[in-house]
Amino acid sequence: MSGSSRTLGLMALKEKARIAGTLADLRTVVAQKAEAERMVERLREALAKQGQVQGVRLATEIAAERNMAKQLLSETERQQGRQAALAARMTEEQERLARQEHRHQTLTDKAKVARKSEVEERLALRDAAMPARRR
């Protein structure tokens, strides 16, 4: 393995390392997105539990409950925005991963072809260097 096949092989290895980095990034984004989804669900549950107290209540309790509901709604909206941003980033990472895998496969294929042609050239040179057979 020398020349272009070595270069292409090294480039393919470098691309494989990039793929590993992209996979790590993708796993991180997926975990963050899942956490955002869980947070939105918990906030919705907390919001659904608001106002279920029966009986006579003070105006301050009602105002505090209303403020808490506003905070829950704003946090829910913020988490949904975060979730949407993470979904977009996840799509970008998947597209980048697909491009890198395609490039890796192309480089690997080119390295195989280059190795094969180098072997054929060596064999041709060896055959040319041998004296002709006598009959």
Q: List the chain domain ranges.
A: 4-109
Residue 38 and residue 123: Cα distance in Å, rounded? 63
Instruction: Give the per-residue pLDDT at 2.
Output: 66
* 19-33, 43-57, 81-95, 99-113: segment of lowest average pLDDT: 43-57
| Residue 59 structure tokens | 């105006």
* % of the chain beyond a pLDDT of 90: 59
Residue 16 and residue 101: Cα distance in Å, rounded? 8
pLDDT tens, residue by residue, 99-127:
999 999 999 999 999 999 998 988 888 88
Which DSSP string corresponds to 88-125? Answer: HHHHHHHHHHHHHHHHHHHHHHHHHHHHHHHHHHHHHH
